[in-house]
Amino acid sequence: MKTKKVLVNDRMQKNYIYEITEPMGKNFDPEFRPDLNPKEMLELGVFGGLYFSDKPKEFPKNWFSKAKLSKDGKRHKELNYFGIDASQSLTVWKENRWIKRQDPRGWMQWYFRYYLGRRTMDDARQIKRWKAMTRHVAQITHKCRKGDFFCNTRQRQALLHWAYNSRKF
């Protein structure tokens, strides 16, 4: 595959360039198997509709066709699939040093770019963080009856933020 350069100029980054080196949605690390793709996440409702409400041009337009997005630049829990706030603020993410300069919107931005085909030195760290979310899957699986979406809604919503389909357990 021929590499493609992407220039980002949006409200969070100016003149950031990255390369797409893999086909979209393909050649993932074998330990990274998300249930949801970016379009599905946006349609279900994650992060209160805030993270990509500006519809960055680097991502395919069709990802946003049915996306639940904030219209006023604020997070709205009712836009989340489970209607509950399951997020920490970007400030908390920065304080914990979970945010890296290449992805100022955090894990979801990293994943969307990874899905597009970008690979970076930060991939192993982000995949490790994604894998750590399996503890929430285990808690829901052990505590809740399958399909009981009123059980552990905060954890279920948080899992959607991390591309786990928490509706299947």
Contacts with 150 (C-beta within 8 Å, 6 or more apart), sequence order = none
* pLDDT score, position 35: 98
Contacts with 86 (C-beta within 8 Å, 6 or more apart), sequence order = 80, 153, 154, 155, 157, 158, 161
Which of the four pLDDT bands, split at 50, 70 and 90, describes residue 110? very high
Distance (Å, whole) CA 127 – CA 37: 15
The reported pTM is: 0.94
pLDDT digits (tens, 9 = 90+) for 52-104: 999 999 999 999 999 999 999 899 999 999 999 998 877 888 898 888 899 99
